[in-house]
Amino acid sequence: GNGAILVNKEGKRFVSEMETRDVVSAAILQQTDGVCYMVFDQAVRDSLKAIESYITAGIVFESDTVEGLAEQLSMDPAALRQTMDTYAGYAQAGVDEEFGRIDTSMGSDLTTPSFYACLCAPAVHHTMGGVKINASCDVIHASGSALPGLFAAGEVTGGVHGANRLGGNAVTDIVVFGRIAGREAAKEKPWA
């Protein structure tokens, strides 16, 4: 959201970086080797202190030039240069003619040296499926009835987040539904 772009191993953008995680992940998986690079400039680095932990970890490529960055990534320098120049024009105009990224999310025009890249690939960090629950966190059988004494909360449940979970919402999900499930389970006292 601070202005980085995603490019494939050929040095080309392939998706609006601000799409939902499922859309971006599917697009990445269609690229060579199912990976891409997140590319940004010094202005983006300066705007987001979280990047420093990636740099300290040694997972970020860095160069004073776009072409030097492309060489480190084993991609065609001319292709990455063209992608960067095209994106800079979009950012300056406030209109992404290729992928429709909105101007408020473009941030930097990615023209301020130094230039950076890190390898990106989709990973599962939250499941979206699972057992159905009701407002009391009872697990619901396929027939539609609650299964007595069986409660669920967190990632094991499905349908709580809709079609696409927003980052950070899982914590609220765990706390809220975990408390409800615990309270309801305590009411039953199956051990008494």
φ, ψ (nearest 5 deg) of residue 64: -75, -15
From the candidates 13, 21, 45, 179, give the one annotated as an active-site residue: 21
Distance between CA atoms of residues 90 and 88, nearest Å: 5
Long-range contacts of 161-168 (CB under 8 A, 24+ apart): 161/128, 164/20, 164/21, 164/22, 164/128, 165/21, 165/126, 165/128
Is 21 among the catalytic positions? Answer: yes
Long-range contacts of 54-58 (CB under 8 A, 24+ apart): 54/118, 55/116
Half-sphere exposure in the Cβ direction for 51 (13 Å, CA) = 23
Residues in the chain: 192
List residues with catalytic annotation. 21
